[in-house]
Amino acid sequence: MSELLVSVENVTLGYGRKTVLSGVTLQIGVGEFWGFVGPNGSGKTTLIRAILGLLKPKQGKIIWHRKVRIGYVPQREVLDDLLPMTALDIVLMGRIRKGGFLHRFSPDDFEAALQAMEQVGIADLAYLPFRELSGGQKQRVLIARALATEPDLLLLDEPTNGLDLPTEHAIMELLRKIHAEQGVTIVFVTHLLSLAANSANHLALFHDGRVTAGEISELLTDQQLSTTYQTPITVHELNGYKVVMVQESRERVRNA
């Protein structure tokens, strides 16, 4: 077990009288790579908001075991494309500290921002308007912004949503590279189980208001996935790539 970074202990989350998640328990260790997986509306972003401290648990507690800098990558739709900002302007937002938007950027801030852009392969886009970039380029800008905070923990909400397959693959390759080279703890949200299965070493499966969490070797089995999702599921491997498939029930095939 890695040194603990944050513990989520029997947490219940929701908004107003509505409960979204109940009894969530998981521990994220230093240097781990987590995939939070579930359909839209299953509570993945709700748990991310709680970890960020933006949502107070109704029950249970979230315990930080050390001081942590968090780099957060929201869904791209959160940013207004009409803002007249360059890619570098967006990345520099990751350097804003206590001074808020009154923060004066220093030469060190510019150097850190440009270094983050170089790291994700978009240094040549620094002075282009953010709104003119492609979806994949915008995602790299947001990842660079998070890296400019010099994070211990990188949280990404649906980083491949709306991207074509080659761009999706490139973004996941980038995250794997960041994890391998910097040892940053990564938690990324996705509705694609196969995507998480081929990148993460830990999974949190969201289903019907509950979360099943653990090492990928424990959770990525036919039996565990079938139990979690209450439907027959099989895991296959093709050329080193894990593929998760829902089995057609005999009854459904017979009635087709």
pLDDT tops 80 at residue 77: no
Q: Which tens digit of pLDDT belongs to each residue from 20-29?
A: 999 999 999 9
DSSP secondary structure letter of residue 75: -
Same domain? 160 vs 227: yes
Same domain? 157 vs 227: yes
Q: If you count DSSP H runs as helices and E runs as strands, how many of each does the chain have, helices first?
A: 9, 11
C-alpha dihedral over 225, 46, 50, 141, to 10 degrees? 100
Return d(Cα 148, Cα 93) in angstroms, integer. Answer: 8
Same domain? 226 vs 159: yes
DSSP secondary structure letter of residue 141: H
Place of tokens 């998070």: 146
Largest Cα–Cα separation, the chain = 69
C-alpha dihedral over 111, 112, 117, 123, to 10 degrees? 0
Same domain? 144 vs 168: no
Give the chain's mean pLDDT: 89
Return d(Cα 135, Cα 75) in angstroms, integer. Answer: 11
Does the residue 252 lie in any domain?
no
Does the residue 115 lie in any domain?
yes
Same domain? 93 vs 58: no
Give me the number of domains the chain comprises: 2
Does the residue 11 lie in any domain?
yes
**Nearest Cα residue to 202 out of 216, 183, 220:** 216
Same domain? 25 vs 43: yes
Same domain? 163 vs 101: no
Does the residue 111 lie in any domain?
yes
Residue 192: CATH number of its domain: 3.40.50.300
Same domain? 158 vs 53: yes
Same domain? 221 vs 156: yes
Stretch among 81-95, 141-155, 177-191 having the lowest mean pLDDT:
81-95
Of 151, 166, 199, the residue at which a domain comes to its end is: 151
Does the residue 172 lie in any domain?
yes
Does the residue 226 lie in any domain?
yes
Query: Domain range for residue 20?
Result: 1-68+152-231
Average pLDDT over residues 161-185: 93
Q: Which tens digit of pLDDT belongs to each residue from 84-114?
A: 899 999 999 998 875 555 668 889 999 999 9
Of 151, 176, 198, the residue at which a domain comes to its end is: 151
Does the residue 187 lie in any domain?
yes
Query: By CB neighbour count within 10 A (0-12 exposed, 13-18 middle, 19+ buried), where does 225 fall?
Result: buried
Same domain? 118 vs 14: no
What is the predicted pLDDT for the residue at 31? 95
pLDDT tops 60 at residue 38: yes
Q: Helices in 42-164 by DSSP H: which ranges?
A: 44-51, 87-92, 107-119, 135-147
Same domain? 83 vs 20: no
What residues have CB less than 8 Å from 114, skipping those under 6 apart? 88, 123, 126
Q: Which tens digit of pLDDT belongs to each residue from 183-240?
A: 999 999 998 898 999 999 999 999 999 999 999 999 999 998 988 888 898 998 888 8
What is the predicted pLDDT for the residue at 248? 67
pLDDT tops 50 at residue 251: no
Q: What share of the chain is helix, strand, coil (3-state, %, to 5)?
A: 40, 30, 35
Same domain? 49 vs 8: yes
* Cα of 251 vs its chain's centroid, Å: 37
Of 101, 136, 151, the residue at which a domain comes to its end is: 151
Give the SS3 label for residue 31. coil
